[in-house]
């Protein structure tokens, strides 16, 4: 032990150096700082400084690992049947990866076969765990009677490897953290999910992935922040359907454009200190509606759903689009006190109410189209849960009529389909049934199929007021008027239930 300490004496950083700026603060330029790969190229007449190799330091590091017993256990991946591994990887690549493309499928599969740098046991177990959430196989469950136990054993294997890999994180570590975070969301542990995504974000900053490499001279190390694979390339190792693989890049570009509009809406209308106030709000509504329409009309043909589309994520994209419209219009119905005149108030509120209604109804149509193509929402991304909940809240505010009941059945069936893979959707669906006691007898939580539901919707943009049995005066129905006989009395709900706060009452059904 004395010789080990002597070899490490005076070395704060074994392989790199500490650096001091003129402000007197200590700066680290080690392998996770994100700065080593962007050093300027040496001049033509200069000699490139070669890194020094210290065998004594390497021996000391190995001695530390041996002394502390930090030996990496041998992964047990080979014990999992190859057929099951391929099934889970295919499920992940087909249903989750196109919507949340954190792993390049081509690079992953090639590295998996050759044990390359874009594969690791940690990432492998993480993908298998998330793929298990989309699988109906009993082999992936700890408890064959509990769908929420799918992937838990694989997750525990990934967690044991994550602790060791965090000592020397790589790009693959970031990918694994992102996938593990989604597994935690799926089993209903949101805090753990956000924790792992936060770790991934921190590592991205440490490795310089937030920096634009275009402004730096090309070096050998710069490949750490490059994606050398084109996701449109077809390879023999890729088993995802070609129509989905070709849509990944256009899908992400469209989603990025929509997220920019959504970010502006959230910061301007929903933040603790809204950026848009008073007289600016009606104009903000019109300008963002125009931006959303322009985004919608610019969608490529293979992301449209006017005809059956083999890409499931295209339907999710449309649901998110209508959710954004609801997020835009809802504040205008919640806080009408800032209007300068009654006429402006009436016109703006009518406009916002129409946007919310049409978006909720059209979202039900999108959900029904999705089920006609793919059966149900069993393997849909979790984003559909928030969209469905947003539509349900708008529909519940409408007066009772047959079309309203059908639309609520659509929302409940979509939540039932999602609940097989995403535990939060199961809690929301259970609370939804308690709020609407007429629904459990009409929608089965086992199948979640809604293709047979008659929405009585032919053109969501036409005759919108007649669809809910309301007049065209734009009046907002009072809460006690819309309950009727189909909804449970609000007095029967918990005191802190709030205004249809199903998401925050996820544990209500456990009481």
DSSP string spanning 381-447?
-THHHHHHHHHHHHHHTSPP-HHHHHHHHHHHHHHHHHTTT-HHHHHHHHHHHHH-TTSTTTS-TTT
Would residue 7 count as lying in a domain?
A: yes
Q: Verify that 335 and 484 share a domain, yes or no.
A: yes
Owning domain of residue 185: 86-210
Which one, of 200, 165, 176, 174, lies nearest residue 72 by Cα?
A: 165
Would residue 78 count as lying in a domain?
A: no
Q: Verify that 497 and 391 share a domain, yes or no.
A: yes
Compute the radius of gyration of the chain from its Cα atoms. 27
Q: Verify that 194 and 269 share a domain, yes or no.
A: no
Strand partners, 141: 150
For residue 371, the model assigns a pLDDT of 94
Would residue 225 count as lying in a domain?
A: no
Would residue 421 count as lying in a domain?
A: yes
Would residue 182 count as lying in a domain?
A: yes
Identify the domain boundary among 210, 230, 256.
210
Would residue 265 count as lying in a domain?
A: yes
Q: Verify that 295 and 427 share a domain, yes or no.
A: yes
Q: Verify that 26 and 117 share a domain, yes or no.
A: no
Q: What is the pLDDT of residues 375-424, one digit of tens each?
A: 999 999 999 999 999 999 999 988 877 888 899 999 999 999 999 999 99
Residue 201 contacts residue 151 (beta carbons within 8 Å): no
Q: Which helix (H) or strand (E) holds 479?
A: helix 479-483
Query: How many residues are listed for the chain in this entry?
Result: 511
DSSP assigned state of 290: H
For residue 347, the model assigns a pLDDT of 83
Which one, of 381, 283, 282, 365, lies nearest residue 322 by Cα?
A: 365
For residue 474, the model assigns a pLDDT of 38
Distance (Å, rounded) from C-alpha 277 to C-alpha 511? 42
Instruction: Provide the number of structural domains found in the chain.
Output: 3
Q: Verify that 187 and 116 share a domain, yes or no.
A: yes
Would residue 43 count as lying in a domain?
A: no
Q: Verify that 455 and 385 share a domain, yes or no.
A: yes
* Tokens, residue 209: 């992935």
Q: Verify that 298 and 201 share a domain, yes or no.
A: no
Q: What is the pLDDT of residues 181-211, one digit of tens each?
A: 999 999 999 999 999 999 999 999 988 888 8
For residue 163, the model assigns a pLDDT of 87
Q: Verify that 100 and 167 share a domain, yes or no.
A: yes
* Tokens, residue 381: 């991304």
Residue 499 contacts residue 482 (beta carbons within 8 Å): no
Distance (Å, rounded) from C-alpha 387 to C-alpha 322? 8
Which one, of 326, 457, 317, lies nearest residue 394 by Cα?
A: 326
Distance (Å, rounded) from C-alpha 82 to C-alpha 474? 60
Say which residues have a Cβ less than 8 Å from residue 102's Cβ, sequence separation at least 6.
Answer: 175, 178, 179
Residue 167 contacts residue 203 (beta carbons within 8 Å): no
Would residue 6 count as lying in a domain?
A: yes
Residue 434 contacts residue 488 (beta carbons within 8 Å): yes
Distance (Å, rounded) from C-alpha 105 to C-alpha 237? 9
Q: Verify that 163 and 290 share a domain, yes or no.
A: no
The distance in angstroms from the start CA to the end CA of the chain is 56
Identify the domain boundary among 210, 229, 257.
210
Which one, of 315, 402, 322, lies nearest residue 360 by Cα?
A: 322
- Return the residue matching tokens 């200069």: 46
Q: Please state the pTM of the whole predicted model.
A: 0.73
Q: Which helix (H) or strand (E) holds 327?
A: helix 312-334
For residue 496, the model assigns a pLDDT of 34
Q: Which helix (H) or strand (E) holds 88?
A: helix 82-91
Q: pLDDT per position in the chain (511 positions), as tens? A: 667 666 655 555 555 444 444 455 555 555 555 544 444 444 444 444 444 444 444 444 444 444 444 444 445 676 889 999 999 999 999 999 999 999 999 999 999 989 899 999 999 999 999 999 999 999 999 999 999 999 999 999 999 999 888 888 999 999 999 999 999 999 999 999 999 999 999 999 988 888 877 766 555 544 444 444 444 444 455 678 888 888 999 999 999 999 999 999 999 988 888 888 777 888 999 999 999 999 999 999 999 999 999 999 999 999 999 999 999 999 888 765 565 666 767 788 889 999 999 999 999 999 999 999 999 999 999 999 999 999 999 999 888 778 888 999 999 999 999 999 999 999 999 998 888 877 755 555 444 455 555 554 444 433 333 333 333 343 333 333 333 334 443 333 333 333 334 444 444 444 3
Q: Verify that 3 and 63 share a domain, yes or no.
A: yes
* Tokens, residue 478: 């009072």
Q: Verify that 105 and 62 share a domain, yes or no.
A: no
Say which residues have a Cβ less than 8 Å from residue 58's Cβ, sequence separation at least 6.
Answer: none
DSSP assigned state of 141: B
DSSP assigned state of 43: P
For residue 395, the model assigns a pLDDT of 93
């Amino acid at each position: 032990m004395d010789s080990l300490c002597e070899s490490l004496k005076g070395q704060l950083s074994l392989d790199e150096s500490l650096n001091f700026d003129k402000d007197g603060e200590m700066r680290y330029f080690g392998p996770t700082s994100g700065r080593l790969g962007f050093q300027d190229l040496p001049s033509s007449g200069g000699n490139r400084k070669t890194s020094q190799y210290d065998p004594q330091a390497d021996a000391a590091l190995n001695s530390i690992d041996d002394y502390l017993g930090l030996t990496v256990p041998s992964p047990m991946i080979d014990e999992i049947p190859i057929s099951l591994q391929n099934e889970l990887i295919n499920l992940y690549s087909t249903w989750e990866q196109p919507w949340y493309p954190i792993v390049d499928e081509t690079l992953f599969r090639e590295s998996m076969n050759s044990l390359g740098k874009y594969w690791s046991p940690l990432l492998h177990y993480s993908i298998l765990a998330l793929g298990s959430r989309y699988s109906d196989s009993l082999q992936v469950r700890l408890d064959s009677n509990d769908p929420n136990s799918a992937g838990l054993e694989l997750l525990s294997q990934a967690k044991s490897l994550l602790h060791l890999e965090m000592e020397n994180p790589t790009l693959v570590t970031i990918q694994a953290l992102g996938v593990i975070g989604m597994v935690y969301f799926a089993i209903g542990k949101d805090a753990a999910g956000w924790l792992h995504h936060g770790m991934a974000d921190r590592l991205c900053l440490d490795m310089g992935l937030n920096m634009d490499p275009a402004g730096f001279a090309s070096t050998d190390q710069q490949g750490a922040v490059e994606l050398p694979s084109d996701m449109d390339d077809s390879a023999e190792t890729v088993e995802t359907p070609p129509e989905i693989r070709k849509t990944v890049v256009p899908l992400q570009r469209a989603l990025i454009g929509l997220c920019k509009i959504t970010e502006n809406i959230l910061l301007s209308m929903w933040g603790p200190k809204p950026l848009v106030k008073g007289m600016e709000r009606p104009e903000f509504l019109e300008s963002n509606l125009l931006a959303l329409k322009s985004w919608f009309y610019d969608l490529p043909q293979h992301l449209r759903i006017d005809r059956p589309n083999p890409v499931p994520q295209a339907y999710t994209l449309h649901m998110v689009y209508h959710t954004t419209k609801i997020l835009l219009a809802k504040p205008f119905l919640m806080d009408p006190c800032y209007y300068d005149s009654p006429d402006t108030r009436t016109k703006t509120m009518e406009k916002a109410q129409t946007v919310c209604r049409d978006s909720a109804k059209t979202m039900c149509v999108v959900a029904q189209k999705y089920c006609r193509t793919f059966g149900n929402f069993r393997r849909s991304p979790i984003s559909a849960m928030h969209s469905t909940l947003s539509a349900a809240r708008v529909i519940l505010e409408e007066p009772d009529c047959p079309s309203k009941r059908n639309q609520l059945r659509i929302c409940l069936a979509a939540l039932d389909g999602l609940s097989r893979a995403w535990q939060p959707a199961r809690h929301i669906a259970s609370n939804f049934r308690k709020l609407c006691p007429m629904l459990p007898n009409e929608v089965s939580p086992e199948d979640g199929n809604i293709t047979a539901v008659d929405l009585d919707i032919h053109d969501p943009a036409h005759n919108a007021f007649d669809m809910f049995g309301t007049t065209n005066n734009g009046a907002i129905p009072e809460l006690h008027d819309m309950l009727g006989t189909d909804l449970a009395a609000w007095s029967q709900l918990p005191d802190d239930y709030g205004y249809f706060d199903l998401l925050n009452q996820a544990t209500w059904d456990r009481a």
